[in-house]
Structure 1
């Protein structure tokens, strides 16, 4: 199928944009969701024509002139999101200027020019901000809204004189207008794609530092900027690291990081020189932020700053190569975090994200990392693009070596700066730098869907070590497992304690590996390659030696045992037996895997005696660990122990640990007052403790929590209190949380997150609520969220009826060219229902012999 792209006969080279929001927008009593715009676009006509087609949606074009004289008839196409300017004469080849006057809409959801509302001690306030990826610059200005149509931009805005304005570049000039506003004009940007353009206006403040030739600033709502001090210091360190790693200095004079209250379908957006974050991803609120928040802030900053090179300086040619942006930035976030905070073990933590990608990749609804994309709404901002993409990059770096990989990346940056690329351009540079042939490996993992499964068929001990016979097939949880598929897989194998694993390339047929040392032998040593391992031989020896494996290999063994057991290819007792081998001293990240999986099993059960029996076992696994960690942070504990405490508090509460729930409720009562006493719930445990208290809240506790959420004026804390409300197990209170979500008390963008939180425990209730209130929900979502939000609410359902309703919803409500991404939720729920019928009886049987 042909891509839905604009004609190639005209190239934009520069946009001069002037935006005038309605003067009443910032008035507290009036929300005027409109703006006026004017743009002059310098174009190069390479083939004579009488028509100019460009992208525009939800814009009203009032007038279009060519070279200041010739007026055009304007024909819009809402389906294709285009406007065609039809002139009365032929436009000759050469340079021309289009002048367009238009008006547009300010959105409630995070797309185009949108509003972020938040509470303060002096009342509710508003921030104007933009979000243009993937195809929403066309909501802001008529343009060639495609990544390869790079141009320079000059942005000007009429803003209230008491507001701070931010764009990609520093301010060039400011002058006074007649209506208590000022004209703010920014310097011209480098050549870049439309989706990287940015504008923000609001009651903001700025703190700054300097790194080399670059001014780095943290911009946040008034009174909050100092909460970004950790982020600002981290950005300065990261910029120095990236300048050195990429070999190309950051090219803009400034780098702003903007913290917007609220939420969206994303954490942050890498606009060049003006990165947008939602504030819980950037700020560390002293009353609310936990250690996991602190680690998250660093990781997200590392990701978005990596984009300033991979994505902004060098951009994918079209959305089918989106992974070049996102996969690389996801890989770099872990590499950079490991550079500065090795004790966090971020590569190990990244396995949780990778498992989500592998679960998606194990079904017939998956897609290759690089896939055909016809139109912009098909761009796949999902775990395959981000997390599998990261795994591929890590695998290739491990295969060619870190220094050769870095040399190839530097050559890629220098060759393609300010240009657009496809995947093979990166592989070419890496092959030149390393002298190793990687294209077959890379192509197999990026152009083929699915996960390789390496079967260990036999082990034979000899004088030279252990000979292993392995075979490759496809791992899947549905009929796609029977589809013939092979990959060229770098298989690393080692005996326990061996320093250097053996590398063999496996491709389909039976392959023999000679591994120095003695059994047991662990495949995928270090977990650096994207595949699963099924041990038909040697598994019991690995289980018995679990405590001697490195944490990465422990985690790999647990993840594979769970995934393969969930699929029914081995007994689930393999995984449950492994949990009995964990000790209170097992690595803290490995314990998080156990918590996550135990909660996943728990979610399969209906309430009743069977679930109660499983919960008793799960609690027994976790209580000894929590006894050693406790409620309060110790001076000697590691950061990851502090993070584990958060997961243990919420996990044990979900598993009906009475002591944890009662203690959480006692602490909440002391905290809530009146007056509020923050000392009783320090930031390190406030959020998990509130969730634990809310899980079994009665009407009285729920009411106190709701009153506290309404009265809190700090936007950060307000969001967390409303999300805690949505964690209740009581169905009537969950329904009340859903009603609150679409009311005026929480921020508009917090409501959808509350609905998602309710769906964790009450999936069917949230699903039917969403169907009933679809228009109200959709106005709070951007277009990409609208495709997935409602179907995603079914993830924890146990109802075949909901599966039928979901299939009907996709047929009736989702556009045909977007159904493929939505249908993965049908595959997910179909598999979940199969697992409930197959796995739970096996868990019940195992429990009877392990009480």
Structure 2
């Protein structure tokens, strides 16, 4: 056992599983019976042994026996089976001591439950479309499909196994299912036979490649599919690509299907390694804790991440589906073909898949400006999380598999991908991808570490990648680069950026390698890159600067904040028309973050934003509206400042929203449509009279049934949200009714977010009770809560509900700690009052908080940072608003 991690004994390793599931109970207790034969490699020459330890969780092992290779003795049965529930293990004791090394087969018979917590082998409820076979599981209101979710450590919920990522094996899977239902797994069907059980069949699938347990998958249900084929040939054949859905939804898989086969071909070329399996299946799962899961050959998705209806879906979901499909396909190579050695290197999977997923979408949809989207969504979000003391390094020690769920977070995904983007920009895209291809070839079907990737990239690029990337991966946080000006030169100083702005000397010892991306010239349009490429020390002076114009961190490729002198910040704002979309996003994001931390000021941010009233780019507007929403939230409890900021914000968006209008024009770009939706909801929630009136008119026509086309699908979120805010209980009830009856695949998400706009505390309490009713699927409970948590008027009702109903919250969500942790982290992190942080801290004192302890620490850190910012800037913001005529 390694000292820094709790892993299974290393002298027993699996090489193959033959897994069979039968007697599935489609109702009642939803139990199933299973058997698994595990071929083992035992290497224990020096010691006698009498037991084998493996992972199980919430399974009942009926019996187990061990057959030693070459032995003429009968298989040895277990004398005792004991469980360690906390460590999710079972010990199979065989009585008399054994001294043996070599191959063996462990045969286990067991019983499990198809649970309803979106982990392991579980059931998803849905309302069917069309005729449904009688064999499909159902209750009074819902039908059920069945599928798996094993990452990170939930294969052990479905069958006894050695559930660690570097214990790879091959798998044979056999499922007994009703004759009129479809069974899927990682590989194609090998053989289908009639079962001895009437009305059932057994489906045996081809053997998988060697892979980790968390990538195994199967599904059973009333499925149909759409199909296409890759254009490239693989082993002489065009690969079949399918999107599976429950009955009646398959046509909504066409968009994902079209992207899928193109991306498989594209990645096969980019990675210089052909997709290695004989098929690609995508499955829409009705209840899903994550966005999607990259099971090799059978990728599972939340419905809104894979289905899209051009007639009824909001166009934002087109972007989401394309990206999530690409992200999961990237994993087929980066994660599945080559797998991280241990969960501490989760970022190797997720950070890379995030970056290369956007890379593929940029290839397919260059008009979407996906790198602008990446900067305003991924990079800024990563900054916000990593600015907390309670952040963690990209590569973080993980003691056991049960800890890993809390690092499936914005650091692993978004900071990881941001750092990958920074490295790719430095090495050059072509060189970087060649290094990645070399890494995949060298470690195919094996496990690898971060250092293995750095070695491949170093060899390809001729640079010592580890020397400048190691600190970015293994140290917490990121720097802010503070600029001081003198004629013809600038001085730069790096320090750790903290939201609280008070990094102690021992927290600020890292000296990051910082690619400067410094442009300077007589004007913004004439600027060119400076010869100094990177800052590699704590402070430095850069000469030969034309102080007519300079700008640092071109296209925000470096993962750091820049803190300019106030006058320079204003000049850059005035030159915005000569900056890229990414540059403008970075300018606004940095100004806000520096104000929060005290390196800059909110007044400097507001002054910077004034010239942006005529901004034309959607992605820049997205950053502006997010930033102003955050500032307004910080001061929402201060009446005069709150009103002044609202007036300022409304003035900022007024001309833009009036110019763009409500109608979607033929041939209009995707980004224009997104800008319209963003501006309308922003202006409407701010109280822009024309927008509110138009929204209410369209809402009345839609809800009354007089004109169901009155609201464009991409404007439902805006119209519903505006009308709930200003329409009170009647509008809230109408949207709740829409939630219960919508047939649009994205309708439930949109309705929940809109219902969270309520302004009345009684309605907010009603909303939380609704969220925790059986009418809201488990996967949606935290998304509805996030909407309310972002609502300054009633966000306290989230905390009130949690503490007054903790037993209900815990019982409902703790079956899947990922869901509970996210619910708390995003539901309770918007407060600006330290007394609330004190209440939360006191409430959880003495409780067993394993599984969501890191989330609680982030909540505490965030709230206290917010409170410090509000206290520091309140007076100067009030003065600025008064001087500018907003008070």
TM-score range, shorter chain: over 0.9
Q: Does 1:79 align with 2:86?
A: yes
Q: Does structure 1 conserve the Cα–Cα contact (< 8 Å) formed by 2:813 and 2:820? A: no
Q: Does structure 1 conserve the Cα–Cα contact (< 8 Å) formed by 2:66 and 2:76? A: yes
Taking the aligned partners of 2:672 and 2:530, their CA distance within structure 1 comes to 30
Taking the aligned partners of 2:249 and 2:596, their CA distance within structure 1 comes to 46
Give 1:221 deviation, angstroms.
1.6
Taking the aligned partners of 1:342 and 1:130, their CA distance within structure 2 comes to 35
2:109 is aligned, of 97, 101, 106, to 101
Give 1:189 deviation, angstroms.
0.6
Q: Deviations over 1:77-122 (max 9, x none)?
A: 0011110111123162111111111112222222111221112357
Taking the aligned partners of 1:205 and 1:486, their CA distance within structure 2 comes to 55
Q: Does structure 2 conserve the Cα–Cα contact (< 8 Å) formed by 1:158 and 1:181? A: yes
Give 1:715 deviation, angstroms.
5.6
Equivalent residue, structure 2, for 1:464 = none
Equivalent residue, structure 2, for 1:797 = 831
Q: Does 1:579 align with 2:609?
A: yes
Taking the aligned partners of 1:843 and 1:725, their CA distance within structure 2 comes to 31
1:137 is aligned, of 155, 166, 170, to 155
Equivalent residue, structure 2, for 1:167 = 185
Equivalent residue, structure 2, for 1:47 = 44
Look up the SS of the partner of 2:519 in the other structure.
strand
Equivalent residue, structure 2, for 1:57 = 57
Equivalent residue, structure 2, for 1:531 = 560
Q: Does structure 1 conserve the Cα–Cα contact (< 8 Å) formed by 2:702 and 2:709? A: yes
Deviates more, 1:532-541 or 1:288-297: 532-541
Taking the aligned partners of 2:837 and 2:217, their CA distance within structure 1 comes to 40
Structure 1 residues 459 and 221: alpha-carbon distance in aligned structure 2, compared to 1, 3 A threshold: farther
Structure 1 residues 309 and 688: alpha-carbon distance in aligned structure 2, compared to 1, 3 A threshold: same
Structure 1 residues 275 and 776: alpha-carbon distance in aligned structure 2, compared to 1, 3 A threshold: farther
Structure 1 moving runs of 4+ over 6 Å: none
Equivalent residue, structure 2, for 1:28 = none
Q: Does structure 1 conserve the Cα–Cα contact (< 8 Å) formed by 2:821 and 2:851? A: no
1:408 is aligned, of 429, 435, 438, to 435
**Equivalent runs, 1:245-394 vs 2, <5 Å:** 245-264=270-289, 266-351=290-375, 352-379=377-404, 380-394=407-421
Q: Does structure 2 conserve the Cα–Cα contact (< 8 Å) formed by 1:810 and 1:823? A: no
Q: Does 1:198 align with 2:217?
A: yes
Equivalent residue, structure 1, for 2:549 = 520
Deviates more, 1:559-568 or 1:242-251: 559-568
Equivalent residue, structure 2, for 1:644 = 675
Taking the aligned partners of 1:18 and 1:805, their CA distance within structure 2 comes to 50
Structure 1 residues 361 and 722: alpha-carbon distance in aligned structure 2, compared to 1, 3 A threshold: closer
Give 1:629 deviation, angstroms.
1.4
Q: Does 1:823 align with 2:823?
A: no
Taking the aligned partners of 1:77 and 1:63, their CA distance within structure 2 comes to 17
Give 1:614 deviation, angstroms.
1.5
Q: Deviations over 1:715-765 (max 9, x none)?
A: 643453344333322221121111111223233432333233222223221
Equivalent residue, structure 2, for 1:180 = 199
Structure 1 residues 20 and 835: alpha-carbon distance in aligned structure 2, compared to 1, 3 A threshold: farther
Give unpaired runs (5+ residues) of structure 2. Answer: 68-73, 131-140
Count of residues paired in the alignment: 839
Taking the aligned partners of 1:719 and 1:163, their CA distance within structure 2 comes to 29
1:487 is aligned, of 489, 496, 512, to 512
Highest relative contact order (Cα 8 Å, sep 6+), 1 or 2?
1
1:557 is aligned, of 583, 587, 600, to 587
Equivalent residue, structure 1, for 2:663 = 632
Deviates more, 1:76-85 or 1:731-740: 731-740
- RMSD between aligned alpha carbons? 2.1
Give unpaired runs (5+ residues) of structure 1. Answer: 26-30, 462-466
Q: Does 1:472 align with 2:494?
A: yes
Taking the aligned partners of 2:216 and 2:426, their CA distance within structure 1 comes to 37
Q: Deviations over 1:190-229 (max 9, x none)?
A: 0001111111111211111111332111111211111111
Equivalent residue, structure 1, for 2:245 = 220
Give 1:298 deviation, angstroms.
0.9
Structure 1 residues 367 and 745: alpha-carbon distance in aligned structure 2, compared to 1, 3 A threshold: closer
Taking the aligned partners of 2:300 and 2:808, their CA distance within structure 1 comes to 25
Look up the SS of the partner of 1:429 in the other structure.
helix
Deviates more, 1:479-488 or 1:384-393: 479-488
Q: Does structure 1 conserve the Cα–Cα contact (< 8 Å) formed by 2:657 and 2:683? A: no
1:189 is aligned, of 208, 225, 232, to 208
Structure 1 residues 758 and 821: alpha-carbon distance in aligned structure 2, compared to 1, 3 A threshold: closer
Look up the SS of the partner of 2:622 in the other structure.
helix
Structure 1 residues 609 and 815: alpha-carbon distance in aligned structure 2, compared to 1, 3 A threshold: closer
Structure 1 residues 813 and 166: alpha-carbon distance in aligned structure 2, compared to 1, 3 A threshold: farther
Q: Does 1:421 align with 2:452?
A: no
TM-score in terms of structure 2 length: 0.91
Taking the aligned partners of 1:529 and 1:655, their CA distance within structure 2 comes to 34
Give 1:540 deviation, angstroms.
3.9
Q: Does structure 1 conserve the Cα–Cα contact (< 8 Å) formed by 2:698 and 2:711? A: yes
Equivalent residue, structure 1, for 2:138 = none
Give 1:813 deviation, angstroms.
3.3
Structure 1 residues 835 and 770: alpha-carbon distance in aligned structure 2, compared to 1, 3 A threshold: same
Taking the aligned partners of 1:690 and 1:654, their CA distance within structure 2 comes to 11
Q: Deviations over 1:553-585 (max 9, x none)?
A: 111111111100111112212211111111434
Deviates more, 1:221-230 or 1:742-751: 742-751
Q: Does 1:449 align with 2:472?
A: no
Q: Does structure 2 conserve the Cα–Cα contact (< 8 Å) formed by 1:455 and 1:533? A: yes
Look up the SS of the partner of 1:120 in the other structure.
coil
Give 1:59 deviation, angstroms.
0.8
1:15 is aligned, of 7, 17, 29, to 17
Give 1:167 deviation, angstroms.
1.1
Deviates more, 1:450-459 or 1:430-439: 450-459
Q: Does structure 1 conserve the Cα–Cα contact (< 8 Å) formed by 2:519 and 2:550? A: yes
Q: Does structure 2 conserve the Cα–Cα contact (< 8 Å) formed by 1:803 and 1:830? A: yes
Look up the SS of the partner of 1:526 in the other structure.
helix
Q: Does structure 1 conserve the Cα–Cα contact (< 8 Å) formed by 2:304 and 2:746? A: yes
Q: Does structure 2 conserve the Cα–Cα contact (< 8 Å) formed by 1:147 and 1:317? A: yes
Q: Does structure 2 conserve the Cα–Cα contact (< 8 Å) formed by 1:109 and 1:749? A: no
Q: Does 1:504 align with 2:550?
A: no
Q: Deviations over 1:678-706 (max 9, x none)?
A: 31122122233222222223222222333
Give 1:481 deviation, angstroms.
5.3
Q: Does structure 2 conserve the Cα–Cα contact (< 8 Å) formed by 1:752 and 1:777? A: no
Look up the SS of the partner of 1:76 in the other structure.
strand
Look up the SS of the partner of 2:171 in the other structure.
strand
Equivalent residue, structure 2, for 1:599 = 629
Give 1:477 deviation, angstroms.
2.5
Q: Does 1:766 align with 2:798?
A: yes
Taking the aligned partners of 1:515 and 1:314, their CA distance within structure 2 comes to 47
Give 1:816 deviation, angstroms.
5.4
Look up the SS of the partner of 1:3 in the other structure.
coil
2:845 is aligned, of 786, 800, 811, to 811
Equivalent residue, structure 1, for 2:133 = none
Q: Does structure 2 conserve the Cα–Cα contact (< 8 Å) formed by 1:165 and 1:200? A: yes
Give 1:623 deviation, angstroms.
1.6
2:759 is aligned, of 729, 750, 758, to 729
Structure 1 residues 607 and 104: alpha-carbon distance in aligned structure 2, compared to 1, 3 A threshold: farther
Q: Does structure 1 conserve the Cα–Cα contact (< 8 Å) formed by 2:128 and 2:248? A: no
Structure 1 residues 46 and 319: alpha-carbon distance in aligned structure 2, compared to 1, 3 A threshold: same
Deviates more, 1:181-190 or 1:114-123: 114-123
Structure 1 residues 509 and 774: alpha-carbon distance in aligned structure 2, compared to 1, 3 A threshold: closer
Give 1:486 deviation, angstroms.
1.2
Q: Does structure 2 conserve the Cα–Cα contact (< 8 Å) formed by 1:459 and 1:538? A: no
